[in-house]
Copies of this chain bind each other. A is one copy, B any other.
Amino acid sequence: MVQNTSYQNCIEACQECAAECLSNVVSMLGKKSDNACPKCCLECAAICRLCVEMMAIDAKFASEACRLCVKVCEWCAEQCAAHDHDHCQQCAESCRRCVEACQSVAK
């Protein structure tokens, strides 16, 4: 448990989303894509990592980071969801869970 325990759920959602997104980038290498997936996953992993760090240190700008994360994750979920691959569908789901968790923090 980090200092500010109200962040715990969102930290976990961001951690999971970051790992899923990186994993999806690798799964998509060499595959054709007709949209921003898997580039969006690289962006999404990066902002999720930032949010984890910001919340872990109970940062002044944690909620602003989460607000940006909501936008990136929503876009990433949309892009990945358009691909039939299991890994893309799974990534989209992680992103959606992350959107919800970050929305609570961003308020």
Residue positions of A touching B, CB distance < 8 A: 1-3, 11, 15, 18-20, 22-23, 25-33, 36, 38-40, 42-43, 46-47, 49-50, 52-61, 64-65, 68, 71-72, 75, 87, 90
19 contacts between A and B (CB under 8 A): A1-B90, A2-B22, A3-B26, A15-B19, A15-B52, A25-B57, A26-B42, A29-B33, A30-B32, A30-B33, A39-B57, A42-B59, A43-B54, A43-B59, A43-B61, A47-B50, A47-B65, A50-B50, A61-B68
Contact B50 A26 (CB under 8 A): no
Chain B residues in 8 Å Cβ range of A59 = 39, 42-43, 46
B40, B47, B61: which contacts A71 (Cβ < 8 A)? B61
When the two chains form their complex, are residues B11 and A39 in contact, meaning their CB atoms are under 8 A apart? no
Which of A31, A43, A68, A72 has the most chain B CB within a 10 Å cutoff?
A43
Say whether, besides A47-B65, A53-B46, A2 and B30 are in contact (CB < 8 Å): no
